Amino acid sequence: MSLKRSRSSTLSRLFAQGTVPATTFVADGSCRYEIRSIIENEKEHPHTLRWLSLVPDGSRYVDRCKYYVSYVVIVNSSPRGPIDRYSLANRTLC
């Protein structure tokens, strides 16, 4: 998830920041292998197996429809104040 406090002029950058890693996750098996290695090193974490189930092995097909990218755009907030409202957009990868 990428979070931005800004105007709509930076939305294209926000969308790129979500699209590039999502495309890498789907297309690059070595990336998924590295992600799984990091997760496997956390053997004592109670959710290790659950996290591993979410990241396919580097040699396996990735079903894009099982994943999505979320974008959050904060509006009507002051730099130091609370968030009044936000907009959440989800984009599936398929």
Q: Give yes or no for residue 93 having a pLDDT over 70.
A: no
Q: What is the pLDDT of residue 51?
A: 92
Q: What is the pLDDT of residues 68-85, one digit of tens each?
A: 888 776 666 555 555 544
Residue 68 near residue 90 (C-beta atoms within 8 A) = yes
Query: What is the pLDDT confidence band of residue 88, given thresholds at 50, 70 and 90?
Result: low
Q: How much of the chain exceeds pLDDT 90, in percent? A: 39
Q: Give yes or no for residue 13 having a pLDDT over 70.
A: yes
Bigger pLDDT: 17 vs 10: 17
- Angle formed by the axes of helices 29-40 and 11-27, to 10°? 90
